[in-house]
Chains A and B, each alone.
Chain A
Amino acid sequence: MSDNLLLAVVMSVVGTAVGMVINRFLKERKNYFDDFDKLLCYYGANLAYSRNTVPEFLKTFETQSHLLKKQIESIVKSLSGKSDFPSGFLSKKECAYAKEVFTSIGTHSLIAEKAFIEDSRSKLKSFRDIADSRYTKLGSSSIKLGFLFGLMLAVIFW
Chain B
Amino acid sequence: MFDFDRIKDILPTAVYDALSTNLNVDKLQEIRLRANSPVKLQYGNKRVYLTENGIGSDLSKAITVSVDDIRNTIVSASERSIYAYNDEIIKGYLSPGDGVRIGVCGEVVGDHGLPIALKNYSSVNIRIPHEIVGCSDGIMRDIVSNFCRAMIISPPGAGKTTMLRDIARNLSDSSNPLNVLIVDERNEIACMKGGAPQMNVGKHTDVISCSSKSYAFECAVRSMRPDVIITDEIFGEQDVEIIREAVGCGVGVIASAHAIDVESFTKRPFAKLLMDNRIFERYYFLSDRFGSGHVSTVCDHSLRQINVG
Contact B84 A108 (CB under 8 A): no
Partner of A107, one of B9, B75, B89, B117: B75
Partner of B81, one of A81, A106, A111: A106
Q: Which residue of B lies closest to A52 (CB)?
A: B84
- Residues of chain B with a CB closer than 8 A to A55's CB: 79-81
Question: Is B259 part of the contact surface with A, judged by Cβ < 8 Å?
Answer: no
- Give the interface size bracket for B toward A: 10 to 19
Tell me, in angstroms, the Cα distance from A56 to B75 when the chains sit together.
15
Could you tell me which residues of chain A, from 69 to 115, have a CB within 8 Å of some CB in chain B? Answer: 79-81, 105-113
Contact B79 A79 (CB under 8 A): yes
Question: Is A39 part of the contact surface with B, judged by Cβ < 8 Å?
Answer: no
Partner of A111, one of B75, B79, B80, B117: B117
Contact B84 A51 (CB under 8 A): yes
Given contact pairs A79-B9, A80-B9, A109 touches B89 in the complex (Cβ within 8 A): yes
Question: Is B306 part of the contact surface with A, judged by Cβ < 8 Å?
Answer: no
Q: Which residue of B lies closest to A108 (CB)?
A: B82
- Residues of chain A with a CB closer than 8 A to B109's CB: 109
Contact A47 B9 (CB under 8 A): no
B61-103 vs A: 1/0 string, CB under 8 Å? 0000000000000011011111110100100000000000000
Contact B81 A110 (CB under 8 A): no
- Residues of chain A with a CB closer than 8 A to B79's CB: 53-56, 79, 106
Contact A109 B83 (CB under 8 A): yes
Partner of A110, one of B9, B76, B86, B119: B86
- Residues of chain A with a CB closer than 8 A to B117's CB: 109-112
Partner of B75, one of A47, A81, A106: A106
B98-126 vs A: 1/0 string, CB under 8 Å? 00000000000100000011110000000
Q: Which residue of B lies closest to A80 (CB)?
A: B9
Tell me, in angstroms, the Cα distance from A109 to B118 when the chains sit together.
8
Contact B80 A54 (CB under 8 A): yes
> What is the distance, in angstroms, from A24's C-beta to the closest C-beta of chain B?
33
Q: Which residue of A lies closest to B111 (CB)?
A: A111
- Residues of chain B with a CB closer than 8 A to A54's CB: 79-81
Q: Which residue of A lies closest to B85 (CB)?
A: A53
Could you tell me which residues of chain A, from 106 to 138, have a CB within 8 Å of some CB in chain B? Answer: 106-113
- Residues of chain B with a CB closer than 8 A to A112's CB: 117
- Residues of chain A with a CB closer than 8 A to B81's CB: 52-55, 106
Tell me, in angstroms, the Cα distance from A110 to B117 when the chains sit together.
8
Given contact pairs A79-B9, A80-B9, A107 touches B116 in the complex (Cβ within 8 A): no
- Residues of chain A with a CB closer than 8 A to B76's CB: 79
A22-57 vs B: 1/0 string, CB under 8 Å? 000000000000000000000000010001111110
Contact A107 B84 (CB under 8 A): no
Contact A111 B82 (CB under 8 A): no
Tell me, in angstroms, the Cα distance from A53 to B77 when the chains sit together.
11
Tell me, in angstroms, the Cα distance from A106 to B118 when the chains sit together.
14
Tell me, in angstroms, the Cα distance from A111 to B86 when the chains sit together.
10
> What is the distance, in angstroms, from A60's C-beta to the closest C-beta of chain B?
14
- Residues of chain A with a CB closer than 8 A to B84's CB: 51-53, 106
- Residues of chain B with a CB closer than 8 A to A107's CB: 75, 80, 82
Tell me, in angstroms, the Cα distance from A111 to B111 when the chains sit together.
11
Q: Which residue of A lies closest to B9 (CB)?
A: A80
Q: Which residue of B lies closest to A114 (CB)?
A: B83
Q: Which residue of B lies closest to A81 (CB)?
A: B9
Contact B80 A110 (CB under 8 A): no
Contact A111 B9 (CB under 8 A): no
Between B80, B86, B118, the greatest number of chain A beta carbons within 10 A of the residue's beta carbon is seen for: B80
Contact A47 B83 (CB under 8 A): yes
Contact B119 A109 (CB under 8 A): yes
Tell me, in angstroms, the Cα distance from A110 to B78 when the chains sit together.
13
28 A-B pairs with C-beta separation under 8 A: A47-B83, A51-B83, A52-B84, A53-B78, A53-B79, A53-B81, A53-B84, A54-B79, A54-B80, A55-B80, A55-B81, A56-B79, A79-B79, A79-B80, A80-B9, A81-B9, A106-B78, A106-B81, A106-B82, A106-B84, A109-B82, A109-B83, A109-B89, A109-B109, A110-B117, A111-B117, A112-B117, A113-B83
- What 4 additional pairs, Cβ within 8 angstroms, besides A53-B81, A55-B79? A106-B75, A106-B78, A109-B119, A110-B83
The 4 A-B pairs at the shortest CB distance, nearest first, are namely A109-B117, A53-B81, A106-B80, A110-B83
